[in-house]
A and B are shown apart, each in its own frame.
Chain A
Amino acid sequence: AQKITQTQPGMFVQEKEAVTLDCTYDTSDQSYGLFWYKQPSSGEMIFLIYQGSYDEQNATEGRYSLNFQKARKSANLVISASQLGDSAMYFCAMRVRGAQKLVFGQGTRLTINP
């Protein structure tokens, strides 16, 4: 079975600081994908970034980067130069090859303080 663990229920960060949101995963499959989604208070789920298990480079998308450490089974999201609009719930998710569903972690609530 696949499992995603996000150990930080909440984080508080000052505006313009960088922030790292932790995600560890558990799977015996060799081929899988890792995703991060953002859920603002309005409720929608916004895709942020994707990392494939065979990707050699860490994924980056603008201010978002994924610190992928395969041996440690971790896929931490790094947000550089945080902004007030980054305040939201952040979910890490995984999908293994052949499976259709995303398995989500419990999420981290990030609050950016001015």
Chain B
Amino acid sequence: DSGVTQTPKHLITATGQRVTLRCSPRSGDLSVYWYQQSLDQGLQFLIQYYNGEERAKGNILERFSAQQFPDLHSELNLSSLELGDSALYFCASSYTSGRETQYFGPGTRLLVL
């Protein structure tokens, strides 16, 4: 158990809908990272927050947004969902934005029908 929690574990929804994925980092960690794992793209970095502020952006679609709250939990919002958004979404955390190891949560498996 990495100490990173993600909810829900599974999500099934329809095209055009909007969903919210939730992540709680390890106790004491200030950075949260979001990654998407799909069969065709592999593991791709989406976005990072550090202590409530956006720190880095990767291959995140405009339909996707995220935020980190004062209690350091983070949410990833996916809207206008398409079939291709079906993937495993991971949250990871680390203490700072340095070279520390990123510890991953169990992931949320999203299926868009």
* Chain A interface (Cβ < 8 Å from any Cβ of B): 33, 35, 37, 42-47, 50, 52, 91, 93, 95, 97, 99-107
Q: Across the interface, do A97 and B99 meet the contact criterion of CB distance under 8 Å?
A: yes
CA distance A11 to B10 in the complex (A): 29
Q: Contact string, B43-56, partner A, CB cutoff 8 A, digits 1/0?
A: 10100100000011
CA distance A37 to B44 in the complex (A): 15
Number of chain B residues whose Cβ lies closer than 8 Å to a Cβ of chain A: 24
Which B89-113 residues have C-beta < 8 A from chain A?
90, 92, 97, 99, 101-107, 109
CA distance A105 to B58 in the complex (A): 16
Q: Across the interface, do B106 and A101 meet the contact criterion of CB distance under 8 Å?
A: no
Which B1-51 residues have C-beta < 8 A from chain A?
2, 31, 33, 35, 42-43, 45, 48
With contact pairs A45-B90, A50-B101 given, residues A101 and B107 touching in the complex (Cβ less than 8 Å): no
Q: Count CB-based A-B contacts (< 8 Å).
A: 56
Chain A residues, CB < 8 A from B66: none
Residue on B with the closest CB to A52? B99
With contact pairs A50-B101, A106-B42 given, residues A43 and B106 touching in the complex (Cβ less than 8 Å): yes
With contact pairs A45-B90, A52-B99, A99-B56 given, residues A37 and B104 touching in the complex (Cβ less than 8 Å): yes
Q: Across the interface, do B43 and A101 meet the contact criterion of CB distance under 8 Å?
A: no
Most chain A CB within a 10 A radius of its CB, from B55, B56, B99, B106: B99
Apart from A46-B104, A100-B31, list 5 A-B contacts with CB within 8 A: A45-B104, A45-B107, A101-B56, A102-B102, A107-B42
Most chain B CB within a 10 A radius of its CB, from A52, A102, A105, A106: A102
Chain B residues, CB < 8 A from A97: 99
Residue on A with the closest CB to B59? A101
Q: Across the interface, do B107 and A43 meet the contact criterion of CB distance under 8 Å?
A: yes
Residue on B with the closest CB to A33? B99
